[in-house]
A and B are shown apart, each in its own frame.
Chain A
Amino acid sequence: MPMRAGEERVAFKMAERGGRGSGGHGSLDKSITLPPDEIFRNLENAKRFAIDIGGSLTKLAYYSTVQHKVARVRSFDHSGKDIENEPLYEISVQEEITARLHFIKFENTYIETCLDFIKDHLVNTETKVIKATGGGAYKFKDLIEKKLGLKVDKEDVMTCLIKGCNFVLRNIPHEVFAYQKDSDTEFRFQTNHPNIFPYLLVNIGSGVSIVKVETEDKFEWIGGSSIGGGTFWGLGALLTKTKKFDELLQLASKGQHTNVDMLVRDVYGGAYQTLGLSGNLIASSFGKSTTADKEFSKEDMAKSLLHMISNDIGQLACLYAKLHNLDKIYFGGFFIRGHPVTMRTITYSINFFSKGEVQALFLRHEGYLGAIGAFLKGAEQDNPNQYSWGENYAGSSGLMSTSPDVYPMQRTRSGTFDMLEMDRLERPLVNLPLLKDPSTYIPDTVDLTDDAMARKYWLTCFEEALDGVAKRAAASQPDSVDALERAEKFRQKYWNKLQTLRQQPFAYGTLTVRSLLDTREHCLNEFNFPDPYSKEGPPHKCALIFADNSGIDIILGVFPFVRELLSRGTEVILACNSGPALNDVTYSESLIVTERIAAMDPVIQSALREEKLLLVQTGSSSPCLDLSRLDKGLAVLVRERKTDLVIIEGMGRAIHTNYYAALKCESLKLAVIKNSWLADRLGGKIFSVIFKYEVPCK
């Protein structure tokens, strides 16, 4: 729990204008039932649109300004003023306007409904043009122009794709991953390299495009192949009478290609081992189906087709990578799009043909590249590339597996709407120039994607702390009427995120304690809790301190601590011995010392005056402390003031006695071990500090 100086003085300036406007709009069009808070957020403040219409999916992009509460710290000017009753600084919550990019992906069948919805909620009329890309842009041009009243401005598909790719590579941490089939963590996320160029992008749509990207503006289509996703789909549909792409992949994942393909072992007989080669390698795809009288299963044919196409693409991609001396290939397109089956076969093929020299890499937001690029084309005047952007975990769906067989937990929105939101960061972010190798630097100590036990522990930990965080968030805005409701929404949202991460730890890249904390912050911000700690009541109502030595101990040790407790709103009962023992401070001494300090320090002075600092005697004249034999006045006061923290100081009081004393409230036992035998006994060294903080079990 971070403590902040002067927190009781936080002055709030709650802006009157409520909310960001995102949550408030009414229900969506009847034909899609969606949580209205979550899809097409903040349309009222949308400025600029772009759309990428592919063969089956539409990706809509828009830019919005988000009015958003932020905590600001301002220090006061104290020069020449009486500072006694002035706070040192003020934390205020202000409304700020930040920029956000929204990307929504949905099936083409919803396009009309979605356009209607946008039209109904679009307040900003300055927008005149919508940038469009993708094969379907032409087909839906008239519909878009009619529905939105915006002029469709078409952009080149490949240019958009590359622009989008550069943008995500530069701005989204853990955007890139390698796929590992036989590992607990199938997704190996890569550290963002400060220099992303050059790279090879292999886009596997209906055909295959191989593009070499050298700089932000320079790319070259270096080749392609007609054997791609369309071949898998088209030929697969002919062979298996299965119409849907996903169903074909499902078939393939269940099939045995060895029944259809001619393998090396079929050509060489059993003797391939003597040649030292793997008999399982495919010598001829579909080489066993060269007969009209045998039936082949749909699954087997689909699998054989998948292998044929993946191997072919992998081989070509490697030949291009070799020719252009590149060792990284990013794969994208609908053939890849999150399908474990195709990522697996492509990765295998690249490893095989390149002997491991070329890496097959995939992108978390591959499906959005075209839309991002088209948007950027239209936003050039705002120069989005000069800013740093960050993925907003609260508003982004994260990487979801599309295969229900592999991951039984499907996304809650039935896979229909997928979202990505990116916030413009206030300041551009760069590497510390002193990092030895920024491309291999990993900030996180533990990878929770990898370490299942650590993941379980931390997810549970965050789950258990969630109620408390939500309560604190609500308490931080006591003047807001909807704070409780928003806190509950926050709680629900973060809870759902945690559940998603339990099922799919790779959803937002490598799972770490940092990403869990960041996600929580994003969710808090989403519901307008920029700083839940800003208006927290004092952690303790009243503290009871048993003081030890006089002299330096009480002046430089106890009193500054008392002062700190008072400053954060905790009342203090300072208990000293009734009679002298060793050099312990006595009650009567404490009265004099306190009076002298009060003369110098306004905090102590006002606390004494307001009876927030109370001096009492223990009833004892021992260097030790027997908590069963205390002055009755002290006991009465402890009860009256609802004391909830006990601090016991010194070897005699905290070690020789009371070391094991259990209390009903929080306690702090402090001492320096000044006896080597005792230090040994306790397993430490002489002059070690004992700091024993205990919270009673509930």
Chain B
Amino acid sequence: VFPWFGLDIRGTLVKLVYFELKDITTEEEEEEVENLKSIRKYLTSNVAYGSTGIRDVHLELKDLTLCGRKGSLHFIRFPTHDMPAFIQMGSEKHFSSLHTTLCATGGGAYKFEQDFRTMGDLQLCKADELDCLIKGALYIDSVGFNGHSECYYFENPMDAERCQKLPFNLENPYPLLLVNIGSGVSILAVYSKENYKWVTAPEARPADFHFVLCCSIGGGTFFGLCCLLTGCSTFEEALEMASHGDSTKVDKLVRDIYGGDYERLGLPGWAVASSFGNMMSKEKRESVSKEDLAKATLITITNNIGSIARMCALNENINRAVFVGNFFRNNAISMRLLAYALDYWSKGQLKALFLEHGGYFGAVGALLELLDSA
């Protein structure tokens, strides 16, 4: 039963993937109800929905075969606080009359379940968010990105001229550390399709297994702190400011304390000794710009994620970390820094990998769950 949707409702953003059927038969077209047509038209003919919904056109997967059908996969996102409007819209477009199931994952699948039922007359099929994440990531990697590699890495990441984004073959993915950075950070060690574990959450509490904690310093922290420090109002704005800032004015580096490298401990002078450490001084607080603060926030959070991911990889004896999540959207600074930091601190033992469809794997996984269950 069409339409095919996968929904991932997270702390800050909702990700929606929509499979647009391209091999539609004449019979099907005749049978197709008006409501379905209008939904397809609405989604595929627009790139923005309302004031906050966006379709990431550049991510669209064309000529995809899914369950024997050909079509395109569309990637749409909007803020979680617009969920009520989304449900309202579904209700207005008589979505429930299609008798389809909507498969959703993420914390919001629980939070909004009741609203879907009462406002939208829709029964949600809830899918496990970790299963969805892994399933989605591996699926998209396997189908590739319109003939290109889905997975990539950086060569010479900190060198502005020589930095290169290169494809990585993730054909034999296991074992692998999957680091998902949304509002917070969750890290999974994946040993096979079925065997993965949540490495940073306490295992002694089985209930915690499915829960989004791990590290609370993630994309939400970057955005939240930037709002407080700079008065910005969007994630994009925060990133834009960061790209023009100088974090070394804000952070205290090893060389600021020791005059150079701290050789006794093997610490290079450029390493950050204390994030925001210079801000202990009143004079320095008065001399930094909002851009500097945004950059320092980004660097602090990225470095921290890198160091936690590296420790998890060491403890799990894994040498590949795949970073996914919306934190990396348009965020080359963080990706390149992670690539460099992981390589430097692991002495080349740990490789940072990235996937093109960074934030959408949960939603893709939810769609796949839907198809599996049908």
Residue of B nearest to A208 (CB): B274
Question: Is A261 in contact with B276, judged by CB distance below 8 angstroms?
Answer: no
Contact A284 to B11, CB < 8 A, known contacts A237-B280, A264-B213, A268-B110: yes
C-alpha gap A271/B280 in the complex (Å): 42
**Most chain A CB within a 10 A radius of its CB, from B216, B219, B304:** B216
**A579 at interface by CB-CB < 8 Å:** no
Question: Is B307 in contact with A285, judged by CB distance below 8 angstroms?
Answer: no
Question: Is B274 in contact with A283, judged by CB distance below 8 angstroms?
Answer: no
C-alpha gap A538/B258 in the complex (Å): 68
Q: 8 Å CB contacts to B: which residues of A250-270? A: 260-262, 264, 266-270
**B266 at interface by CB-CB < 8 Å:** yes
Q: A residues within 8 A CB of B273?
A: 206-207, 226, 230
**A316 at interface by CB-CB < 8 Å:** yes
Question: Is A234 in contact with B274, judged by CB distance below 8 angstroms?
Answer: yes
C-alpha gap A230/B206 in the complex (Å): 36
**B268 at interface by CB-CB < 8 Å:** no
C-alpha gap A339/B286 in the complex (Å): 29
**Most chain A CB within a 10 A radius of its CB, from B183, B204, B223, B235:** B183
Q: What mask results when residues 195 to 237 of chain B are scored 1 for a CB within 8 Å of chain A, else 0?
A: 0000010111111101111011111110111011101110100
Question: Is A285 in contact with B111, judged by CB distance below 8 angstroms?
Answer: no
Q: 8 Å CB contacts to A: which residues of B271-319? A: 271-280, 282, 285, 293, 300, 303-304, 307-308, 311-312, 314-315
Query: Which of A2-10, A318-326, A612-620 interfaces with chain B?
Result: A318-326
Partner of B304, one of A227, A272, A296: A227
C-alpha gap A514/B208 in the complex (Å): 47
Q: A residues within 8 A CB of B225?
A: 235, 286, 289
Interface size on A, residues (CB 8 A): 69
Query: Which of A307-315, A368-376, A524-532, A570-578 interfaces with chain B?
Result: A307-315
Q: A residues within 8 A CB of B207?
A: 275-277
C-alpha gap A355/B250 in the complex (Å): 35
Partner of B277, one of A156, A234, A291, A355: A234
**A231 at interface by CB-CB < 8 Å:** yes
Q: B residues within 8 A CB of A352?
A: 202
Question: Is A312 in contact with B217, judged by CB distance below 8 angstroms?
Answer: yes
**B108 at interface by CB-CB < 8 Å:** yes
Question: Is A271 in contact with B228, judged by CB distance below 8 angstroms?
Answer: no
CB distance from B21 to the nearest CB of A (A): 33
**A239 at interface by CB-CB < 8 Å:** yes
**A670 at interface by CB-CB < 8 Å:** no
Question: Is B220 in contact with A285, judged by CB distance below 8 angstroms?
Answer: yes
**B12 at interface by CB-CB < 8 Å:** yes
**A238 at interface by CB-CB < 8 Å:** yes
Q: A residues within 8 A CB of B311?
A: 223, 316, 319-320, 323
**Most chain B CB within a 10 A radius of its CB, from A158, A268, A283, A308:** A283
**B121 at interface by CB-CB < 8 Å:** no
Q: B residues within 8 A CB of A627?
A: none
Question: Is B308 in contact with A158, judged by CB distance below 8 angstroms?
Answer: no
Question: Is A238 in contact with B229, judged by CB distance below 8 angstroms?
Answer: yes
Residue of A nearest to B200 (CB): A315
Q: A residues within 8 A CB of B157?
A: none
C-alpha gap A296/B109 in the complex (Å): 29
C-alpha gap A319/B12 in the complex (Å): 28
Question: Is A282 in contact with B216, judged by CB distance below 8 angstroms?
Answer: yes
Question: Is B276 in contact with A156, judged by CB distance below 8 angstroms?
Answer: no
Q: B residues within 8 A CB of A158?
A: 264-265
CB distance from A319 to the nearest CB of B (A): 4
Question: Is B252 in contact with A206, judged by CB distance below 8 angstroms?
Answer: yes
Residue of B nearest to A268 (CB): B107
**B184 at interface by CB-CB < 8 Å:** yes
Contact A284 to B280, CB < 8 A, known contacts A226-B303, A275-B110, A275-B207: no
Question: Is A283 in contact with B228, judged by CB distance below 8 angstroms?
Answer: no
**A287 at interface by CB-CB < 8 Å:** yes
Partner of B274, one of A226, A284, A355: A226
**B251 at interface by CB-CB < 8 Å:** yes
Question: Is A286 in contact with B224, judged by CB distance below 8 angstroms?
Answer: yes
Question: Is A288 in contact with B252, judged by CB distance below 8 angstroms?
Answer: no
CB distance from B85 to the nearest CB of A (A): 17
**B112 at interface by CB-CB < 8 Å:** yes
C-alpha gap A261/B183 in the complex (Å): 11
Q: 8 Å CB contacts to A: which residues of B71-130? A: 106-108, 110-114
**B257 at interface by CB-CB < 8 Å:** yes
Residue of B nearest to A55 (CB): B280
Residue of B nearest to A211 (CB): B265
Q: B residues within 8 A CB of A286?
A: 220-221, 224-225, 228
Q: A residues within 8 A CB of B113?
A: 269, 271
Q: B residues within 8 A CB of A55?
A: 280
CB distance from A102 to the nearest CB of B (A): 28
Contact A319 to B224, CB < 8 A, known contacts A231-B274, A284-B11: no
C-alpha gap A430/B231 in the complex (Å): 62
C-alpha gap A276/B273 in the complex (Å): 39
C-alpha gap A283/B266 in the complex (Å): 34
**B10 at interface by CB-CB < 8 Å:** yes
C-alpha gap A230/B207 in the complex (Å): 35
C-alpha gap A221/B252 in the complex (Å): 19
Q: 8 Å CB contacts to A: which residues of B245-263? A: 250-252, 257
C-alpha gap A243/B283 in the complex (Å): 12
Q: A residues within 8 A CB of B182?
A: 284
Question: Is B276 in contact with A323, judged by CB distance below 8 angstroms?
Answer: no
Question: Is B224 in contact with A288, judged by CB distance below 8 angstroms?
Answer: yes
C-alpha gap A506/B293 in the complex (Å): 42
C-alpha gap A340/B115 in the complex (Å): 44
Residue of A nearest to B211 (CB): A277
C-alpha gap A290/B81 in the complex (Å): 11
Question: Is B110 in contact with A272, judged by CB distance below 8 angstroms?
Answer: yes
Residue of A nearest to B299 (CB): A226
Q: A residues within 8 A CB of B282?
A: 237, 243
Q: A residues within 8 A CB of B314?
A: 319, 323
**A199 at interface by CB-CB < 8 Å:** no
C-alpha gap A233/B278 in the complex (Å): 10
Question: Is A323 in contact with B110, judged by CB distance below 8 angstroms?
Answer: no
Q: A residues within 8 A CB of B202?
A: 352-355
**A194 at interface by CB-CB < 8 Å:** no
Q: A residues within 8 A CB of B257?
A: 135
**A465 at interface by CB-CB < 8 Å:** no
Partner of B211, one of A264, A284, A319: A264
**A228 at interface by CB-CB < 8 Å:** yes
Question: Is A156 in contact with B264, judged by CB distance below 8 angstroms?
Answer: yes
Q: A residues within 8 A CB of B227?
A: 289-292
Question: Is B183 in contact with A284, judged by CB distance below 8 angstroms?
Answer: yes
Contact A225 to B304, CB < 8 A, known contacts A206-B274, A233-B280, A283-B11: yes
**A381 at interface by CB-CB < 8 Å:** no
C-alpha gap A227/B276 in the complex (Å): 8
Partner of A308, one of B10, B212, B221: B221
Partner of B220, one of A238, A281, A284, A353: A284
Q: A residues within 8 A CB of B183?
A: 262, 267, 283-284, 287
Contact A316 to B221, CB < 8 A, known contacts A282-B216, A322-B315: no
Partner of A290, one of B12, B213, B300: B12
Q: A residues within 8 A CB of B312?
A: 319
Question: Is B110 in contact with A231, judged by CB distance below 8 angstroms?
Answer: no
C-alpha gap A353/B216 in the complex (Å): 13
**Given A272-B211, A355-B202, 20 new contacts (CB under 8 A):** A223-B307, A226-B271, A228-B275, A230-B277, A235-B225, A264-B107, A275-B110, A282-B184, A283-B183, A284-B11, A284-B184, A286-B220, A286-B228, A290-B227, A291-B227, A291-B233, A292-B227, A312-B215, A353-B200, A355-B205
**What are 24 sample pairs from A and B whose C-beta atoms fall under 8 A apart?**
A207-B275, A226-B275, A234-B275, A234-B276, A234-B278, A235-B276, A238-B229, A243-B282, A264-B212, A270-B111, A272-B107, A276-B208, A277-B208, A283-B107, A283-B212, A284-B182, A285-B184, A287-B220, A287-B224, A290-B224, A291-B233, A315-B215, A319-B315, A354-B202
The 7 closest A-B pairs by CB, nearest first: A269-B111, A234-B279, A276-B207, A286-B224, A230-B274, A284-B220, A267-B107
